[in-house]
Amino acid sequence: MNKKRGKQSVVFSNPPVITSTANIVGPMEGQGLLDQYFDYTMLDNLNNLDSWEQCESFMMEWAIKEAVNKENSTIDMIDCILAGDLLNQLMSTHFALKKLERPFLGVYGACSTMVESMLLGAMLVDGGFANKVASATSSHHDAAERQYRFPNELGAQRPPSAQWTVTGAGATVLSVFGHGPRITSATIGKIVDYGLKDPNSMGPAMAPAAVDTLWTHFQDTGRVPAYYDMIFTGDLGNVGKQLVIQLMQQKGLDISSNYQDCGCMIYREEQDAHAGASGCASSAIVFCGYIYNMLMNCKLKKVLLLGTGSLHSTTSYQQKESIPCIAHAVAVEM
Amino acid sequence: MDKMKKQQKQQIEQEQYQKKVDSLTPKPPLLKNICWAFVVGGLICIFGQFLINYFIGLGLDKKQAATWATAVLVFLGAFFTGIGVYDELGKRAGAGSVVPITGFANSIVAPAMEFKREGYVFGVGAKMFVIAGPVLVYGMVTAFIVGLIYWIRH
């Protein structure tokens, strides 16, 4: 049976089960709104390691191991790991995966990496190419800041539209059998670029990509927004979230009552994160903690998770190019 | 023809979107930022003046006193960057802590600290001037041009 639906979507015939998830965060996230949904909170952003990059690798390794431990299997039972992060050449991922010694495919989708790796993992499992797949991602505030912006100790003022890169990592284990919510369908996004250039305001740049994928998902699957208990986007922040609601309204769909952005759920107002959270770990720590918990406790039954990524680099920004963006979606149902 | 129409339509759509984004994006609190910058920048300058007067009081002439005061301010800028305070100040004071010479010290010490892990040659040595480098380059270019004008006129 062909699993493709419409233009960009797939509906799985043997929906893979998310048998476990794990997340780890830095101290600032630990003091945020979702503090009770984190498996481990580090005391500082270095965690007694030599560099921020090493710390990020540690977080990813820890998250994958913890997710595997939680469902009482061993790392040897994982047929393939799909993972990625924000740093150049997936530095943190590669050093984390070096120690795990499992088959590995690197994934880069900027902040959409969590959903992209879950989507691909689900395809591997449903296609019969693997029994258990782990998908993971990480980001680190200081490591990202030094690569994309300025040194951390520089006394620069951030504009109110800027978002705060999350320090953390999340991992999921997808299995053929087991107890847990299933990934029932997915929509692969295409690159959308509305010509925005300001890397200090990525939520607005990514919002059209999120809307494009959302719209396509509904078209392809024949579903309506009300089908889902909640729709989550990855890291659009306060401004991007409003834009998504407005743009969807223009298309005649009202999602204002069951839509939230992971980037708006992590930090408290007084933590001075400005427009919200961003980074690969934004959607990862929220999905692998809060959302998974809600699904397991049946407080949410049908969830659509959109990973949103802005695919610019420091080079493209300095050469005055606009920000190409992408969004992928997975539907997770209990 | 169709392609051009499509491009035009896309452009109009993008412009409309940009307008929408601008209207939703929160504006920086201009008045608050200006006040902070004025007070902090002013205090740094008053402190500098205090240093100059102090050194003159010790018997140095005005030029020497200014050099000494500069050295002290640069040291303090570097010191407070090192203990992680200067960026907290810069977050609020903005230009107030960037423009005085302490900000210059901050812009050199911050990358030097950050890139120490890449070693003393390609890390500290190479990256030290990523922020301050342009200031030096264009400062020297300007000095050269002004010097040239001065030389022609005399």
Number of compact structural domains in chain B = 1
Kindly report the CATH number assigned to the domain that includes residue A160. 3.40.47.40
Average pLDDT of chain A to the nearest whole number: 93
Q: Are residues A171 and A189 in the same domain?
A: no
pLDDT at B10: 84
pLDDT at B8: 87
Q: Are residues A18 and A149 in the same domain?
A: yes
pLDDT at B1: 61
Angstrom CA distances, A69 to A63, A65, A206, A281, B26, stand at: 10, 6, 35, 20, 44
What is the residue range of B86's domain?
A: 29-153
Residue that is last in its domain, among A142, A175, A208: A175
Cβ atoms of residues A327 and A210 within 8 Å: yes
Q: Are residues A248 and A285 in the same domain?
A: yes
Angstrom CA distances, A226 to A232, A253, A303, B51, stand at: 13, 10, 11, 68
- What ipTM was reported for this prediction? 0.85
pLDDT in tens, A59-103: 999 999 999 999 999 999 999 999 999 999 999 999 999 989 999
pLDDT at A185: 95
Residue B44 lies in a domain: yes
Instruction: Determine the residue of chain B that is closest to A205 in CA distance.
Output: B21
pLDDT at B27: 87
pLDDT at A232: 95
What is the residue range of A318's domain?
A: 182-333
Number of compact structural domains in chain A = 2
pLDDT in tens, A122-180: 999 999 999 999 999 999 999 999 898 888 888 888 888 899 999 999 999 999 999 99
Angstrom CA distances, B144 to A168, A183, B23, B152, stand at: 50, 66, 44, 12
Residue B96 lies in a domain: yes
- Is the Cβ pair A275, B109 closer than 8 Å? no
- Answer whether residue A104 shows pLDDT above 90: yes
- Answer whether residue A108 shows pLDDT above 80: yes
- Answer whether residue A1 shows pLDDT above 80: no
Residue B80 lies in a domain: yes
Percent of chain A with pLDDT over 90: 87
Q: Are residues A164 and A102 in the same domain?
A: yes
Distance CA A15, CA A174 (A): 10
Rounded to 5 degrees, what angle do the CA atoms A110, A112, A114 make?
110
- Is the Cβ pair B13, A194 closer than 8 Å? yes
Q: Are residues A202 and A168 in the same domain?
A: no
Q: Across chain A, how many H-helices and E-strands are there? A: 10, 15
Residue B24 lies in a domain: no
Chain A neighbors of B27, CB-CB under 8 A: 160
Q: Are residues A225 and A325 in the same domain?
A: yes
Region of A204 on the Ramachandran plot (φ > 0 left; ψ -120 to 50 alpha; else beta): alpha
Q: How far is CA A127 from the centre of its chain?
A: 23
- Answer whether residue A281 shows pLDDT above 70: yes
Distance CA A78, CA A154 (A): 43
- Answer whether residue A199 shows pLDDT above 90: no
Q: Are residues A194 and A64 in the same domain?
A: no
Interface contacts (A, B; CB < 8 Å): 87
Chain B neighbors of A318, CB-CB under 8 A: none
H-helix or E-strand spanning residue A216: helix A202-221
